[in-house]
Amino acid sequence: FIRNGEKCDTPAGIAHYLEHKMFDTKDGNALQVLSQNGAEPNAFTSNAMTGYYFDCTEHFEENLRILLSFVSVPYFTDESVEKERGIIGQEIRMVEDSPDWQVYERLLACLYRSSPARVPIAGTVESIAGITAETLYDCHHAFYCPSNMALCVVGNVDPHAVIALAEEVLPRERGEEIARCYGEEEDGAAAQHETVTQMEVALPQFLVGFKCETNEGDLLRQSLIGEMASDVLLGDSSPLYQRLYDEGLINSSFGGGFDQLPGVAVLCAGGESGQPQQVSDA
């Protein structure tokens, strides 16, 4: 990203690392506090965003206050960051052993030359070795500000009370605008046409991907069109699905989808098959 006219580069996996550490507070751990308060909290990091959320049937406003507070006020120590490194490293190794994750990550790496989407969300064991409390604070300062946040609440609540609470807890300063850098502009050609990884699986898993043009001005429309095209062309009622299934080339795991990220748009299809090359050729 670019801040104050200077390009800032952070270790791969820092957004995911930050998600792990944001629950730490000076008074303890926000996950435990929310759980003790009757909520079911969790978080996730994708290629496009990090989200923190909870479900509850009581103490909603108190739980929302806790959530908004800990995402706004980071608390990292060198010791806690170092301790988390081993936990995240183990998580990375688990993902590396997951055929589902591997086939998707390698598809993006085949299609794109410089997009950050090529890099695993959690980073690598080597990249997270460069993450410190200082880099986490810097990343939080850059991105965890009201101008870069969205709050979504669903349920029998008073919207005005929610807005008032958010205005009370969140920082008054909207934060500086951060320019994103998504790599060099991509053309329509894939960076690499095929990659094969040997893993111990009952049946080979495969993904075939098509690099689509991105339409940054109308993301919702493009996403809806992509999903509809995926259902029509690749769904279980499509002629292609029926033909491949009848020929014994695919099983019920076969499916398609359309993924859209900043600077990335991919229509893909895949699943399990004993003859993945024949499916691709079809």
pLDDT (tens, 9 = 90+) of the chain, 282 residues, equals: 777 777 778 899 999 999 999 999 999 999 999 999 999 999 999 988 999 999 999 999 999 999 999 999 999 999 999 999 999 999 999 998 999 999 999 999 999 988 888 889 999 999 999 999 999 999 999 999 888 999 999 999 999 999 999 999 998 776 677 777 777 777 888 989 999 999 888 899 999 999 988 877 788 888 999 999 999 999 999 999 999 999 999 999 999 999 988 788 999 999 999 999 899 887
Asked if 67 and 153 sit in the same domain, the reply is yes
Instruction: With respect to residue 200, please indicate whether it lies within any of the assigned structural domains.
Output: no
Asked if 158 and 277 sit in the same domain, the reply is no
pLDDT at residue 124, rounded to an integer: 94
Active-site pick, 19, 105, 186, 272: 19
Asked if 99 and 11 sit in the same domain, the reply is yes
Q: Are 49 and 180 in contact (CB under 8 A)?
A: no
Instruction: With respect to residue 263, please indicate whether it lies within any of the assigned structural domains.
Output: yes
Instruction: With respect to residue 67, please indicate whether it lies within any of the assigned structural domains.
Output: yes
Asked if 212 and 164 sit in the same domain, the reply is no
Asked if 155 and 258 sit in the same domain, the reply is no
Which residue range forms the structural domain that includes residue 258? 205-281
- SS3 state of residue 25: strand
Angle CA(264)–CA(265)–CA(271) in degrees, nearest 5? 115
Instruction: With respect to residue 180, please indicate whether it lies within any of the assigned structural domains.
Output: no
Q: Which stretch of DSSP H or E encloses residue 62?
A: helix 60-72
Asked if 8 and 145 sit in the same domain, the reply is yes
Instruction: With respect to residue 187, please indicate whether it lies within any of the assigned structural domains.
Output: no
Asked if 158 and 241 sit in the same domain, the reply is no
DSSP states along 65-114: HHHHHHHHS----HHHHHHHHHHHHHHHHHHHT-HHHHHHHHHHHHH-SS
Instruction: With respect to residue 197, please indicate whether it lies within any of the assigned structural domains.
Output: no
DSSP states along 205-269: EEEEEEE----TT-HHHHHHHHHHHHHHHHSTTSHHHHHHHHTTS--TT-EEEEEEETTEEEEEE
Instruction: Please identify, among 115, 143, 169, the residue that sits at the C-terminal boundary of a domain.
Output: 169
Instruction: Please identify, among 169, 189, 224, the residue that sits at the C-terminal boundary of a domain.
Output: 169
Interatomic CA distance for residues 63 and 66, integer angstroms: 5
What residues are paired with 44 via a beta bridge?
51
Number of folded domains that form the chain:
2
pLDDT at residue 18, rounded to an integer: 97
Interatomic CA distance for residues 130 and 14, integer angstroms: 9
pLDDT at residue 175, rounded to an integer: 66
Has 177 been annotated as catalytic? no
Asked if 56 and 124 sit in the same domain, the reply is yes
Asked if 153 and 17 sit in the same domain, the reply is yes
pTM of the model: 0.86
Asked if 148 and 233 sit in the same domain, the reply is no
Asked if 213 and 138 sit in the same domain, the reply is no
Instruction: With respect to residue 212, please indicate whether it lies within any of the assigned structural domains.
Output: yes
* CATH number where 21 lies: 3.30.830.10
Instruction: With respect to residue 191, please indicate whether it lies within any of the assigned structural domains.
Output: no
Instruction: Please identify, among 121, 142, 169, the residue that sits at the C-terminal boundary of a domain.
Output: 169
Asked if 27 and 164 sit in the same domain, the reply is yes
